[in-house]
Amino acid sequence: RRPKMGVEIATTTHGDGVTFPKTGQTVTAHYVGCLTDGSEFDSSRKRGRPFQFTIGVGQVIRGWDEGMMQMSVGEKATLTCTPDYGYGPNGMPPVIPPNSTLVFDVELISVQ
């Protein structure tokens, strides 16, 4: 069975249920990114500062653009992104192999 393509969101802590990011807004989030074997490839938490990006304009992988738009401020969730919503057939050498499913623990801190 092939996994469903896209991004799966599993909420671990509910947000405010009101403030959802919209295309073009600046999102501030913490994240830890892992491969499906559990090996961590990146973490804003380890760097000690959250990551900021403009949502919905392709600055980040599709799984983040689509997944985080469904989260509200304060929400913590696990985003599981199939390869087509991640780095695809090329991966991100040397840390992310080609066609990797990616698992991100994310916290949506703020939207501006």
Q: Which residues belong to the active site? A: 31, 41-42, 61, 87, 104
How many Å apart are CA 102 and CA 90, to the nearest integer? 14
CB 92, CB 62: distance < 8 Å = no
- The amino acid that residue 68 corresponds to is M
Q: What kind and span of H or E run contains 103?
A: strand 102-111
| Tokens found for residue 98 | 């080609």
Bridge partner residues of 104 (DSSP): 33, 79
